[in-house]
Chain A
C-alpha cells in the first residue's frame, strides 16, 4: 500500500478505526481492558497558549478575524511548555493585551459585514435593546468561548452590559460588542479550568466533568477549542460513555486537523520556542537570516507530520529518514537547489550527503550551537535530555572553559581535540563522557548547520558511541538513537506529560509502563499512542483530595 494509503483508506471507510496501525487486524479496544488503574493527578488551570488562543478565535468566529498583538512569554517546566501553562498567570501587561485583542475581535465580529453571520437573530430595532436576541447571541457564542454552557450569572451579567451599552450608544450591535469583549477576557476563556465530578463507577474518586473532558481532548488532538459536535457529546452525556468517547476520539484522530495537535506537541517537545531568540553572527554565517530560522523550524515539523501522520510511520524513523522538505532560503544552508520560488518542495537528501534524520536538520544543529560556532556539548545534551529524557547536570560554577572556547588555538583545531583536552579535568569528565560522543557525530555541521569536512584545516572525525553502540557518522548516530529503547520510552513519557499538563504521579508508573509496551506493540505509531491516551481512564482521572471541588459547587451560583 502506498504511503498515506492507510489514512486515506480510513477516511473512505475501508479500514475501521481500531485498525489504524498499518491496517493490520489488531483489536486495540480489547487491550484497553488491561489498562492499569490510576488515581490521576490534581485538577489543572492551564493558560491558553498563543496558538490555542488564535486557533480558538479562528474556529469560533472564522479565519477572517484578525488577531494581532503580543502574548505573554510562555514557561518551560519539566521539559515542556505544556506543563508551564499550568503555572503561569496573567500579568498586568498581558491583561492589557488580552483586553485590546478582545475589543478588536468583538469589533470585527459585530461590524456591519460580519454581524449577519455572527448573530443568530435579527433585533427588533437596531438602536434599541432586544433582550431575546441578545440572550440568544450570548448563550450561543458564550458556549463556544467558555467551552461549556453559559451560567445564569454570566448570562445576566453580559445581558445587563449589552443593554446598558445599547442604551448608551443607541446601537444594538455595539451593546453585543461590549458583552462579547467581556466574554473574551473572562478567566474561563483564557484559562482551561478543570471541573471535577464524582466518578460514577467509583464514587470515592473524582474525574473530569464532560466539558472538561471535551476541552482536554480537543486541545490534545487539535490544539484548539472543542467544536460543536464535541460540546454536544459532552452535553448529551455521550462523552461519559466508553463508546461515545471512542467515537469522538476517532473523529478527531481521523480529521486533517490532527496535524495541528501533532505539530504542537513536537514544537514543544523539541523546544522550538528557542528559535524566537536565536541569533547567529552574520560575519561568520553570512547566509543566516530570520527567514531561514522560520523555515528551519517548519521543515522539521513538515517531516514529522509527513512521516507520523500522513504516512502513519514509526516515530523512531524520524532519526533516520532522508526524506525532507526544502525552501529556497533553506537550500542555501543545505547547499541544495530548490525549484519553487515560494513555498516547499519535497526532497530526499542526495546520495553522498551525510544528512539523515531530524538531528541533521538545521532545527537541531543551528538551535544547539553558539552564535559563532557549533557545540558538540549542547547537541549531545539536547539528545540526552530531550530525546532520551536523561537530565544532564549543569557544569560546576568554577569550571574553566578556555580550551573549549578558543577555536583558533592551533593545538586543538577540532571540537573533538578541544573537548578531549577539556575532559582531562575530572570534574567535567563525568558529564562530557555521556554527552560529547553524541554531539561530536554532528560536528560536520557548523554552527548554522552547513556541511563542512574540515575545521581549521583538520579533518573532522564524526565517529562515536551511544549507550554502548558504536557508530561512524551522523547517520549512524540517528540509527543508534532509532534502536535505543529509551528513545521510545522518552516519547511516551513526554507525550503523556504533555497531555496531562503535569508530571506523572507515582501512582501512574504502572500505567506509563503499560503505555510504553503498547507503543512498541503498535509499531511506534504516534496516532495510536494518542488514541490510547485519549480513550484511557487515566487521562481523565482526578486526584482532588486537596480541595474537593464538586459538581454542587459548580452549579451553585
Chain B
C-alpha cells in the first residue's frame, strides 16, 4: 500500500520538481499518462430505472396531495379565495404551515395532526431546535415526530445497481427483496431506489405515466444543473494501470476541483482532455478504492468512499458517504467511462443529505412533492445493510448512482502531493 502510493506520488513530485527546480526555459516532459487515467465526471446522480410497473398506485403522496383534504375541509368561500389568482402566496403559506407549523395558518398543523396523526413529541409540544440548518419546527427536520400515510414505494422488479450482499442475507444485511438489473443480472440491491422511485420530483418519466405529476425531473435537473453550472466538479483518477483492458490491481482516487466541469456549449456532452486541478476532499471517510480491470470493465473492491458534491445554491462542499462502495465502470476507447457506483448509505446521512440539509426544507418538500416523514419511515423500513449489533435492525440502505465521465488530465498541486501520505 505504502509502496504503491509512493509510486504515484513519486511521478508527480518528479514532474513538479523538474518544473520548479530548473531554469524557466527547461522543458518538462508532458506527463506520462500511460499508467494513470484521469476522468472528469459529467453525470453523477441516482440511477433511476423508472420502469412502467414501478408505481402502479400512482406517485407517492407528497405535501401537495396531502394538503388537498385540508383545503377540501375549508369552507368553499375560503378555499376559492385561497385558490384564486393573486393568492398563491397564501396558498404556499398553507402548504408551508402544513409542514412547518407557524402562525399565519395556525390551525394547519393541528388539522394535519388530526388527519395524519399528532406530532410524536414528548409533552404534547411541537419539537423545536435544529436538526438541519435552521431552528424551526418542521416535519423535514423532525420526520420521526410525524406520521404521514405510508410512502408508495417501487413495485417493479428491475433496477440499476450491484449485488452488494452476495444475493443473500449476510451479516450485513436484513431481509429484503432484490431487483434484477436491466441487463439481467440478478440479486441487485438498491433499496433506496425502492424508496425514492415513486417520489414525484425524483422521477422524470412520471409525465408519461401519470397526468397528476407536478414536479417530474426537478431533482435531477437541480443536481445535474449544479454540475453543469460549474459549482461542483468531481474527478476520478485510476492509478497503476499497466494494461488498460486487463489489470488485476489498480487504484481509484476521487477528487474535487474548483474548475468547472467542461461541457460543450450546446447540450450535455462533456469535452474530453481538459486539465483540471485536483483538490483532496476534506471528508473524514477515505476517497480511495482498489480494484481491477477485466476486459475493459473496472470494478472496485467494497470500501467506504466519500464522494464530494455541492447541492444547488449551497456554498459548502458536502459528501455522499458510501459504505462498502463498489464501482462498475466501462472504460471507453475514447478515454471516457460510464457505469455505476453502488454501496450503502447510513439512513440518517442519506435522509439528511436529500431532505434536511437545506435552509428551506419544507418549501422544497412542496416542490418535489414528497412527504419527509413518510420517506424517513420508508428508509428505515427498507434498510438492508449494516445491522445494529444489539437490535439487529439495519442502519444502512443500498443505493446506486449513475456515473458518466470523459477523459481528463488530473493535475496535482505540489502541496497536495506532499501531504498525500
- A residues touching B (Cβ–Cβ < 8 Å)? 2-4, 282-283, 286-287, 289, 306, 310-311, 323, 326, 328, 331-333, 335-339, 341, 345-350
Closest A residue to B267 by beta carbon equals A286
Closest B residue to A346 by beta carbon equals B27
Are the C-beta atoms of A332 and B271 separated by less than 8 Å?
yes
Return chain A residues, CB-CB under 8 Å to B262. Answer: 332
Counting from the closest, the 4 A-B pairs by CB-CB distance are A337-B409, A286-B264, A338-B275, A328-B275
Cα(A348)–Cα(B274), bound, Å: 18
Proximity bits, B8-22, A CB within 8 Å = 1, else 0: 000000011001000
Given contacts A282-B265, A286-B269, contact A339 B27 (CB under 8 A): no
Given contacts A286-B265, A332-B274, contact A337 B25 (CB under 8 A): no
Return chain A residues, CB-CB under 8 Å to B16. Answer: 339
The reply to whether the CB of B186 lies closer than 8 angstroms to some CB of chain A is no
Cα(A338)–Cα(B275), bound, Å: 6
Are the C-beta atoms of A331 and B274 separated by less than 8 Å?
yes
Return chain A residues, CB-CB under 8 Å to B266. Answer: 282-283
Cα(A328)–Cα(B25), bound, Å: 19
Q: B30, B38, B264: which has the most chain A beta carbons within 10 Å?
A: B30
Are the C-beta atoms of B31 and A337 separated by less than 8 Å?
yes
The reply to whether the CB of B89 lies closer than 8 angstroms to some CB of chain A is no
Return chain B residues, CB-CB under 8 Å to A3. Answer: 25
The reply to whether the CB of B411 lies closer than 8 angstroms to some CB of chain A is yes
Apart from A2-B23, A306-B25, 5 more pairs, CB < 8 Å: A310-B25, A311-B25, A332-B272, A341-B277, A348-B29
Are the C-beta atoms of A346 and B26 separated by less than 8 Å?
yes
Cα(A339)–Cα(B38), bound, Å: 14
Cα(A335)–Cα(B26), bound, Å: 21
B409 in complex: contacting residue of A286, A323, A331, CB < 8 Å: A331
Return chain B residues, CB-CB under 8 Å to A348. Answer: 27, 29-30
Cα(A3)–Cα(B27), bound, Å: 12
Nearest CB on B from A330, distance (A): 10
User: What are 14 inter-chain pairs, A to B, with CB distance below 8 A?
Assistant: A289-B265, A331-B409, A333-B273, A336-B30, A337-B38, A337-B409, A339-B19, A339-B275, A341-B259, A345-B19, A346-B25, A346-B27, A347-B29, A350-B29
The reply to whether the CB of B24 lies closer than 8 angstroms to some CB of chain A is yes
The reply to whether the CB of B175 lies closer than 8 angstroms to some CB of chain A is no
Return chain A residues, CB-CB under 8 Å to B26. Answer: 346
The reply to whether the CB of B128 lies closer than 8 angstroms to some CB of chain A is no
Cα(A332)–Cα(B262), bound, Å: 10
The reply to whether the CB of B212 lies closer than 8 angstroms to some CB of chain A is no
Cα(A335)–Cα(B38), bound, Å: 12
Closest A residue to B335 by beta carbon equals A335
A337 in complex: contacting residue of B23, B259, B271, B275, CB < 8 Å: B275
Given contacts A337-B409, A339-B411, contact A287 B271 (CB under 8 A): yes
- B residues touching A (Cβ–Cβ < 8 Å)? 15-16, 19, 23-31, 33, 38, 259, 262, 264-266, 269, 271-275, 277, 409, 411
Nearest CB on B from A235, distance (A): 39
Cα(A283)–Cα(B274), bound, Å: 18
Return chain B residues, CB-CB under 8 Å to A339. Answer: 15-16, 19, 31, 275, 411
Cα(A211)–Cα(B269), bound, Å: 59
A286 in complex: contacting residue of B19, B25, B259, B271, CB < 8 Å: B271
Cα(A350)–Cα(B24), bound, Å: 19
Nearest CB on B from A204, distance (A): 51
Return chain B residues, CB-CB under 8 Å to A282. Answer: 264-266
Closest B residue to A347 by beta carbon equals B30
Cα(A335)–Cα(B264), bound, Å: 16
Return chain A residues, CB-CB under 8 Å to B411. Answer: 337-339, 341
Closest B residue to A333 by beta carbon equals B273
Return chain A residues, CB-CB under 8 Å to B25. Answer: 3-4, 306, 310-311, 346
Are the C-beta atoms of A350 and B265 separated by less than 8 Å?
no
Cα(A341)–Cα(B276), bound, Å: 8
Cα(A267)–Cα(B384), bound, Å: 67
Nearest CB on A from B258, distance (A): 9
Nearest CB on A from B367, distance (A): 33
Nearest CB on A from B51, distance (A): 33
Nearest CB on A from B412, distance (A): 9
Are the C-beta atoms of B275 and A331 separated by less than 8 Å?
yes
Cα(A473)–Cα(B26), bound, Å: 27
Return chain A residues, CB-CB under 8 Å to B264. Answer: 282, 286-287
Are the C-beta atoms of B28 and A346 separated by less than 8 Å?
yes
Are the C-beta atoms of B33 and A337 separated by less than 8 Å?
yes
Cα(A2)–Cα(B27), bound, Å: 13
Are the C-beta atoms of A331 and B273 separated by less than 8 Å?
yes
Nearest CB on A from B381, distance (A): 46
Closest B residue to A2 by beta carbon equals B23
Return chain A residues, CB-CB under 8 Å to B19. Answer: 339, 345
Return chain A residues, CB-CB under 8 Å to B23. Answer: 2
Cα(A351)–Cα(B292), bound, Å: 28
Nearest CB on A from B368, distance (A): 32
Nearest CB on A from B27, distance (A): 5
Cα(A104)–Cα(B177), bound, Å: 76
Cα(A287)–Cα(B259), bound, Å: 16
Given contacts A338-B411, A339-B15, contact A350 B28 (CB under 8 A): no
Nearest CB on A from B280, distance (A): 16
Cα(A4)–Cα(B277), bound, Å: 32
Nearest CB on B from A117, distance (A): 33
Return chain B residues, CB-CB under 8 Å to A337. Answer: 30-31, 33, 38, 275, 409, 411
Cα(A362)–Cα(B275), bound, Å: 18
Return chain A residues, CB-CB under 8 Å to B271. Answer: 286-287, 332
Nearest CB on B from A337, distance (A): 3
Nearest CB on B from A284, distance (A): 11
Return chain B residues, CB-CB under 8 Å to A328. Answer: 274-275
Cα(A345)–Cα(B15), bound, Å: 12
Cα(A286)–Cα(B42), bound, Å: 15
Cα(A3)–Cα(B25), bound, Å: 8
Closest B residue to A283 by beta carbon equals B266
Cα(A2)–Cα(B23), bound, Å: 11
Closest B residue to A348 by beta carbon equals B27
Return chain A residues, CB-CB under 8 Å to B265. Answer: 282, 286, 289
Closest A residue to B271 by beta carbon equals A287
Nearest CB on B from A304, distance (A): 14
Cα(A43)–Cα(B275), bound, Å: 52
Nearest CB on A from B238, distance (A): 15
Return chain B residues, CB-CB under 8 Å to A283. Answer: 266
Nearest CB on B from A154, distance (A): 46
Given contacts A335-B273, A337-B409, A339-B411, contact A345 B28 (CB under 8 A): yes
Return chain A residues, CB-CB under 8 Å to B15. Answer: 339
Return chain B residues, CB-CB under 8 Å to A346. Answer: 24-28
Cα(A349)–Cα(B264), bound, Å: 26
Cα(A237)–Cα(B275), bound, Å: 57
Q: B29, B266, B411: which has the most chain A beta carbons within 10 Å?
A: B411
